[in-house]
Copies of this chain bind each other. A is one copy, B any other.
Amino acid sequence: MTELPHHRPHRIDVPALDRQIDCREDETLFAAARRAGLRIVGACGGRGHCGSCIVRVTEGRVHREGEGAHRKWLRACCIQPRSDLTLEVAPRSLAPIVRADVRTGGEAAPLPLDPSLTAVELTLPPATLQDLASDADRLRRVLAERAEPIEPAAIDWAASAALPGVLRQHGWQVQARLRQAQAGGPLTVASVARPGAPLLGLAVDLGTTNAAAFLVDLASGRRLASLGLENPQVAWGADLISRINHAIKEPDTAEALRRAAVGAIQSLAHDLTRAVGAAVTDIADAVVCGNTAMQHLLAGWPVAQLGRAPFVAAALEAVDVAADRLGLALGPGAALHLAPSIGGFVGGDHVTALLATEAIWQAPGVTLVMDIGTNTEISLVHDGRILSASCPSGPALEGGHIGSGMRAAEGAIERVEVVDDALRLQVIGGGVPVGLCGSGVLDALAAFVGAGWIDARGRIVAGRHPSIAEVDGVRAITLAEETEERHRLIPAVRFSQHDVRAVQLAKSAIRTGVKLLCAEAGLDESQIHRFVIAGAFGAYIRVESARAIGLLPPLPPAPDGTSRFQQVGNAAGLGVQQMLSSRERRARAAQIARQARYVELSTRSDFQKSFLQHIGFGS
């Protein structure tokens, strides 16, 4: 008898997560985990590039592809099961389970309140054999009879669909949701809801790596909750260009990427509304910002022309579309507003960052606004002119594509110092270090360069310190040895030569962007009066470390002695909320996008020279 290939999937047990999943012999553990919704980090989408998905097989046999037989910790994307397995996932490879943060509201400043949607509560006369008017006409009549009469230009299709049911289930009471895009412009009945329903809006900052969403009460302008989620598109690559190339090569992939983005927003909407005891159908309006690639993919627009020279967007202006046309199920008739973009990859998320920091850059002098992320956007504001550019900085600064990289979560090393040739670490939560988050990566590099463990060209100096050694053929500095805690084995935390190179590329790309954008305006970077660092990552970095490694320019303090650098946090998230709660802010965003001029830096003749000049740590 011939033995048939083993086609029954193997059972993969993950005791720490209390999960069991199936994995076929022809798929990797990473693919099976993604399929089963098991939250393993995978910055490169399972292509074996980043090493962020590491696991340990405690029982069973596996087939290894490019993973030496002696290794204990394996990349889940490089192994396939050959028997049932028991698996341990490295703590830093576990994607965090984020819960909606309902505290946001109280802490932040109130949003400007002038929404395009308002709700009015109405009681309609019941239909009788003597009064056979349609439900829509009945609604019009009551609106016209108010103290301040309302005469809608139209009752939208979705409103008419919902009206008969609501009226008869709620004793002829109904909440009408009125949309008026511009003050004084035509007003329509966009939808109707049960009487007293909350009128909610959803603001989404759709980043390349993470999506952040905010639930806003459109009646009060109050933030109700916020929530973050990994952008599920990372399965098609951590960076924009990988995803665009996938979408260009395989037509189905563009649609899959679109669905992934829609699915993420849908899931955020669901979890946020559940957290405040509301329903997804209470969301009547939504605004989404992202870089141009994210916005194109979400809108289902082609990206071929965006991903290849001369890198042109389908459209940069803001777009309004019924949410259901994108397959997004919010409230009946809910609209989706896509923020306006500037050009290249400088998209709606940078416009919202500019919107939220307007008070800073409207002051006289030169302001630079930078949003550090997998893609970094920079705007230089001077004399009422806005010049904008983008740099592909990669995920290294966010802890992605870094061997021991992880998110800023419990166990992450966030501060590194070398004092008297000894390492000092600060760990989020204070426990055992399990990985390095973005700010820790910057700190580590600055500290190691400062101590001479890494030389001016970026090479780790062999023998310079006992923590430096060759591991799997690559030189690395060990920050924490493998350890065991509460019967869990925790892999060593190391900073390797590969990691140094990744950060060098990122920091040089960003610094070159700053320098050339200044040159484009006829300025030198030393003339920058205010340097605004926006973005979640930028909020946590140590400016001294970033300056020390040359990511940020060495600006002297302001005449009053204060730093010229301002870390403003997630400005894009704040801006997109403002666009949701205020028509004036929405119009202002359109103005800013029109006012800004996009500069393509990569075609400047001095790009390559500047990039090479900033790759090291000499200056």
Contact = CB atoms under 8 A, between A and B. Distances in A.
A127 interface: yes
A221 interface: no
A320 B154 contact: yes
A325 B335 CA distance: 13
Contact of A127 (B127, B132, B305, B603): B305
Nearest to A324: B325
Contacts of A132: 310-312, 343-344, 598, 600
A161 B300 contact: yes
A289 to B, nearest CB: 16
Interface string A288-326: 000000000001111011000111111111011110110
Interface in A112-148: 127-129, 131-137
Contacts of A319: 157, 160
A317 B312 CA distance: 42
A174 to B, nearest CB: 13
A164 interface: yes
Task: Name A's interface SS.
Answer: mixed
Interface string A433-471: 000000000000000000000000000000000000000
Contact of A314 (B131, B160, B344): B160
A305 B157 contact: no
Nearest to A305: B164
A161 B299 contact: yes
A312 B154 contact: no
Nearest to A160: B315
A155 interface: yes
Given A164-B301, A325-B157, A129 B314 contact: no
A305 B163 CA distance: 11
B300 A135 contact: no
A589 to B, nearest CB: 15
Interface string A595-606: 000101001000
Contacts of A325: 157, 322, 324-325
Contact of A157 (B135, B309, B312, B320): B320
Interface in A328-362: 343-344
Nearest to A309: B129
Nearest to A140: B317
A129 B600 contact: yes
Given A160-B301, A305-B168, A127 B321 contact: no
Contacts of A299: 157, 160-161
Nearest to A318: B154
B157 A316 contact: no
Contacts of A136: 313-317
A342 to B, nearest CB: 10
Nearest to A322: B325
B310 A129 contact: yes
A134 B309 contact: no
Given A160-B301, A160-B319, A161-B299, A343 B313 contact: no
A165 interface: yes
B161 A127 contact: no
Interface string A576-619: 00000000000000000000001010010000000000000000
A291 to B, nearest CB: 14
A600 B135 CA distance: 17
A255 to B, nearest CB: 12
Contacts of A134: 312-317, 343
A312 B133 contact: yes
Nearest to A303: B164
Which of A155, A164, A603 counts the most chain B CB atoms within 10 A? A164
Contacts of A316: 134, 136-137
A247 to B, nearest CB: 13
Nearest to A300: B161
Contacts of A320: 154, 157
B302 A165 contact: yes
Contacts of A309: 129
A386 to B, nearest CB: 16
A163 B301 CA distance: 9
A155 B600 contact: no
Contacts of A161: 299-302, 314
Nearest to A185: B186
A493 to B, nearest CB: 43
B155 A317 contact: yes
Nearest to A186: B186
A259 B302 CA distance: 29
Contacts of A160: 299, 301, 314-315, 319
A371 to B, nearest CB: 20
Give 3 closest A-B pairs by Cβ, nearest first.
Answer: A136-B315, A160-B315, A134-B313
11 contacts: A127-B312, A132-B598, A136-B315, A137-B317, A155-B317, A157-B325, A161-B299, A161-B302, A163-B314, A164-B305, A165-B302
Interface of A: 127-129, 131-137, 154-155, 157, 160-161, 163-165, 168, 299-302, 304-305, 309-317, 319-322, 324-325, 343-344, 598, 600, 603
